[in-house]
Amino acid sequence: MVRRVLSAALAAAALTGTAFATCTKDSHCPQDTPCCSLYGECGVGAYCLGGCDPLMSHSFDSCVPGPVCKSATYNLDSLDDVQTIDKYLGDASKINWQSQGMPAIYTDPSSGEKSTLLTLAEGTSGTLLASTHYVWYGKICSKLTTAQGAGVVTAFILMSDVKDEIDFEWIGIDTAHVQSNYYSQGVTVYTNGKNLTVSGQSTVAQAHEYCIDWKEDSLVWSVDGNDMRTLNRKDTWNSTSNRFDYPQTPSRIMLSLWPAGLSTNDKGTVEWAGGEIDWNSPYMDNGYYYARFHEVTVECYDPPEEAQIKGSKTYKYTDKAGTNNTVAITDDSVILGSLLGTGEDPGEAAKSGDASATASVAMVPGGNPGGGIRAEATTAAAASATDGSTAQATGSSSSGDSQTFSQGDSTGAGSALEPGLGRIGGSALAIVVAITGLIVL
């Protein structure tokens, strides 16, 4: 993700008066906050997990190695397999999805089918579900219906830690098409995008299945079993950089709903999204926009021939080139002991009775990276909606104290919605938390 340095780390810095370090390929993170997030900010804890950029971090070992691909069908009818970003410490054997924002379970009144809603309320960055396992080539499909309205974007993307990206994106004012796109190492080339027509002319009223068939030499976007676009790796050669501008590194699956149409976003982003968001839109229900995700399926393919096979558990980068021949499959599994841990020093889990920890380092990145490269730093707007003194958090509301929150059980996230889509208060979707008040588990 290429975002401006207007994000949760800045909001968190306002809490403590601390200016947290930023990172680029030429200026890596310092040793005390060694992990570079997708936003280009340095921290520990969640910064060192999914989205940690090894090319900008203190060292290749700063980031926790990414769990290898797992073929599976995920019926998104429960949040039992979802853990919030401030709770997940890297154990992908127990949790398959990490969340930011407010996911919720919806029960269809006519069929009784349950699915996951991604919600977007005013003053928030929307909602993101990101897989804890990576995919290094495979066929990934999702069945969903999208949000509707100007400035509101639903996304199903693959994003690697070095910012290779493959997109399906739905602009809220165009319910007859889906946009396909791809990027390589975060380089913005908007001409890579192409509109695809969806049968039935409605991505909102009817659920469709969207698939990304990603191979080493070709990439196919399909809708409802029909191939709609093909990209061949051989056609992406860049003689200037002397490499193929083709997505080629292990990526997480990201499902998201994000506010592209904020007035604080770049003018081009707002125009692309169909204009500014109307927070009194008839397309909102009880104070929020929503997209409905029914299912995700993953079929893993074999790694490329260039892969360095040293084990079978995790993906790890070995060279600053960040291409598929610089990724090793290893047995180096790391689980953080707490949100103060890093890939180099995971730390130990706090024992029962230990005091709550506070720290002047960034531990949990904010914002919503599920929008991909095109997304702006929407967290800044979320922070300004709460007077700039707090950073947006995830989970369910507590007793109304804006400085605390309750996550429920250790693996849950969000809320349950019964028929009508209106059984949850809009205020529960605009939750804030002071980073220094986080409890280290």
Q: Give the pLDDT confidence of 188-203 residue by residue, as tens digits.
A: 898 999 999 999 889 9
The Cα angle at residue 33 between residues 32 and 36, in degrees rounded to 5: 150
Give me the CATH number covering residue 146: 2.60.120.200
Measured CA to CA, the distance from residue 331 to residue 342 in angstroms comes to 17
pLDDT at 410: 31
Asked if residue 81 is part of any domain, the answer here is: yes
Residue 28 contacts residue 51 (beta carbons within 8 Å)? no
The confidence band for 423, taking pLDDT boundaries of 50, 70 and 90, is very low
pLDDT over threshold 80, residue 111: yes
Asked, for residue 118, whether it belongs to a domain, the answer is: yes
Tell me if 314 is assigned to some domain: no
Does 158 map to a domain?
A: yes
Neighbouring-strand partners of residue 35:
43
Domain contains 234: yes
- Report the C-alpha gap between 210 and 313 in whole angstroms: 28
Residue type, 93: S
Residue 158 is part of which domain span?
A: 67-300
Q: Are 331 and 357 in contact (CB under 8 A)?
A: no
Question: What would the two tokens of residue 213 be?
Answer: 């068939």
How many structural domains does the chain have? Answer: 1
Spatial separation of the C-alpha atoms in residues 386 and 135, rounded to whole Å? 37
pTM metric for this prediction:
0.84
Least confident interval from 42-56, 121-135, 395-409: 395-409
- Do residues 39 and 1 make contact, with C-beta atoms less than 8 angstroms apart? yes
Is residue 165 part of the annotated active site? The answer reads yes
Active site residue: 41, 122, 169, 344, which one? 169
Left (φ > 0), alpha (ψ -120 to 50) or beta: where does 54 sit?
alpha
Tokens, residue 422 = 């209106």
pLDDT in tens, 228-266: 999 999 999 999 989 999 999 999 999 999 999 999 999
CA-nearest of 52, 438, 358 to 42 is 52
- Please indicate, yes or no, if residue 189 is contained in any of the structural domains: yes
**Does residue 440 form part of some domain?**
no
Identified catalytic residue from 41, 122, 165, 376: 165
Query: Taking all residues of the chain, what is their mean pLDDT, rounded to a whole number?
Result: 83
365: in domain: no
